[in-house]
Each structure stands twice: as C-alpha cells, then as structure tokens.
Amino acid sequence: TETTLDEKIKERIAKHPCYSEEAHHHYARMHVAVAPACNIQCNYCNRKYDCANESRPGVVSELLTPEEAAHKVLVIAGKIPQMTVLGIAGPGDPLANPEKTFRTFDLIADKAPDIKLCLSTNGLMLPDHVDRIKELNVDHVTITINMVDPEVGTKIYPWVHYRRKRYRGIEGVKILHERQMEGLQALREADILCKVNSVMIPGINDEHLVEVDKVIRQHGAFLHNIMPLISAPEHGTHFGLTGQRGPTPKELKALQDNCSGNMKMMRHCRQCRADAVGLLGEDRSQEFTKDKFLEMAPEYNL
C-alpha cells in the first residue's frame, strides 16, 4: 500500500542529513575530495575551487587518493558517532573520475558497510554508471540540473566534453540535457533516491526553474534543492567577471515556494565544501586535514 511505501522511504532517508530535514539536526555527513577532473564548464565555476554544483564557491579542498580517503572516513566514523553518510562531490565531477570515485566507494563499502554512500554529479556520465552505483548500494545520487531547455543552457554552459570530443554552445548543452534526463530515468528504474540541485541565476534560469521542477518530478526526482548563485568577482568565474548577481534570500524563497506544489523541496542546504565534515552548517574539516588524519588510527570497525 501507499503507506508502507512511504514508511520504507522514510527509513531510507531517516539518517541522511540532506534528504531529511529532521535528520540534519542529529546526523552528520562527510565528503572526501577524490575527484579533481571535470568534463563540462559551468559559468559559475572556477576550476581552482570546489565543484560549485554542490559546494560553496571559492573554497579549495585538499585532494586525496582513494586510500587516503578511506583512511579518513574510518578515522572520522570512529570519532563522530553521528556520522552516517559519506558523500563524493568533487572537487570536480565524481563521474569524470570514475576509477577514483568507485575505488573509494569500494574501500568504504567493504570496511564500513553501515556508512551510507552518496554521490553528486553534473549527470553527463551518469547513464554509464547507474549499474555500478546500484551494485555498490549507493542509495543517494544528486544531479545538478539547471535547465531543461538547451537555449537557456547556452547561457550557463559554454562547452561539454563528451566521449573524447569537445562540443561548444547548444550542441554541447543538448548532449548534457539528454544525458541528465536519461540518468534521472535510470535512477528511477534502479530505485535509487535522486535529489536534483539547481543553481538559481537571476535573469538566466530563475523563471525557468519552475519548469525544471515540474520536469524532474515527472521523471521521478525525490527532492529538489534550489541553491542561490554565489558570485564574487574575486572567484574568477565567468559570472563573477560579467557582474552576474545572485538572488536575494527573498527571491530564493519566493521561487522555492512557487515550486513546492506537492512534493519535497530542500530548504536546509548549506552549500558544503568538497571535504566537509560534521553536521550541516558545522565545519570540522580543519580538524581532519591530511597531515592530521594520517597520524590518527582508524578506530572504526576494529
């Protein structure tokens, strides 16, 4: 029945601080920055910093190998009992670095099977990897979808690098859009909970995001997280240099209210770093920098 289905989903998200508003008061997440490469260009991103699809712009995370990342996860899971989720969200696109991303998940699934695995991607390579994601029991995948109309996308994505070729302009955006929709569909078929992140860019996709919200929900997205563009000239992004502004808190809330018809809207996102550690809004990443955690013994599961 409907109720049992709902109960089952509640259980799946009960300890995930991003998927459950309630959980974020009690449960923590950590990110490991193992994925440096990216395969598209977003106009709100500067590659010197973390992937701005799931992160606060202007932050530099310390890159780790999968082995270092697994060590870090085991150390932290031992020290922070509320730690329930391990996310890979950068500093580039995790699926543009599939060996590193999946090697990290493999190591953690093996040594700490009760840690939930979470993945965030721009979606370009997602359809190729859904089987692997399912096999590894990754139950939470975020796709950043900023448009469902490639014309709108041309103002956000100057190029897309796909199967060894670079596509500029609308040709590239069409590929990205088709792959995102295909990925969303594949996640639904595999019964993997999917959150969609959208970056709200006033004058570019703000009005269009109502349509994005409709389309992704039709395709089975579980949760929509509309994040404000953060754009400072010193971040050296295209939007920063052209003086593109982000939305005011009031504009953001109005759009979220507009979209929140009958399904879930995430409103407690804190735009984390690619190496974030702790409760949302609490940043303990500096307690676990590489020079520090490599000196600590993994306590978990011993």
> For ligand CLF, which residue of 12, 15, 28, 31 counts as binding (CB under 6 A)?
31
Tell me if residue 195 falls in helix, strand or coil.
strand
Q: Cβ contacts of residue 174 below 8 Å, gap of 6+?
A: 150
Which C-beta is closer to ligand CLF: that of 270 or that of 290? 270
Q: Which is closer to ligand SF4, CB of 41 or CB of 154?
A: 41
Query: Which are the contacts of 129, defined by CB distance < 8 A and separation ≥ 6?
Result: 95, 98, 102
The nearer residue to ligand CLF, 118 or 192, going by C-beta atoms, is 118
Say whether residue 93 binds ligand SF4 (CB under 6 A): yes
Output the CA–CA distances (angstroms, integers) from residue 195 to 70, 133, 145, 189, in the order listed. Answer: 25, 15, 10, 15
Identify which of residues 40 and 200 has a Cβ nearer to ligand SF4 in the complex: 40
Binding characters for ligand CLF, 33-62, by CB under 6 A (x = yes):
---------------------x--------
Rg (CA), the chain: 18
Q: Least Å distance between CB 165 and ligand CLF?
A: 29
**Angle between helix 169-189 and 126-135 (nearest 10):** 20
Write down the residue that tokens 């949760």 correspond to.
223
Number of residues near ligand CLF (by CB under 6 A): 18
- CB nearer ligand SF4, residue 77 or residue 145: 145
Q: Cα dist. 182→96, 126, 187, 188 in Å?
A: 17, 8, 9, 10
**With binding defined as CB under 6 A, does residue 53 bind ligand SF4?**
yes
Beta strands in the chain (DSSP E): 28-31, 40-41, 83-88, 116-121, 140-144, 159-162, 165-168, 193-200, 223-228, 265-266, 277-278
122 binds ligand SF4 (CB under 6 A): yes
x/- binding map, residues 186-225, to ligand CLF, per CB under 6 A?
---------x-----------------------------x
Residue 141 binding: pick among ligand CLF, ligand SF4, none (C-beta 5-8 Å cut-off by kind):
none
CA distance 9 to 22: 14
Distance between CA 172 and CA 178 in Å, rounded?
10
The three-class DSSP label of residue 140 is: strand
Query: Position of tokens 């049992």?
Result: 4
- CB under 6 A: which stretch of 38-46, 78-86, 181-189, 225-233 binds ligand SF4? 38-46
Nearer to ligand SF4 by C-beta: 92 or 247?
92
For residue 108, the partner it binds in ligand SF4, ligand CLF, none, with Cβ less than 5 to 8 A by kind, is none
Contact characters 244-273, ligand CLF, x per CB under 6 A? -------------------------xxxx-
The answer to whether 14 touches 23, Cβ cutoff 8 Å, is: yes
Q: How far is the CB of 119 from ligand CLF (least distance, A)?
A: 7
User: What number of other Cβ atoms are within 10 A of residue 142's Cβ?
Assistant: 25
* Complex with ligand CLF: residue 134 or 270, whichever CB lies closer: 270
Residue ranges that bind ligand CLF, judged by CB under 6 A: 18, 29, 31, 54, 85, 87, 89, 118, 120, 140, 142, 195, 225, 269-272, 280
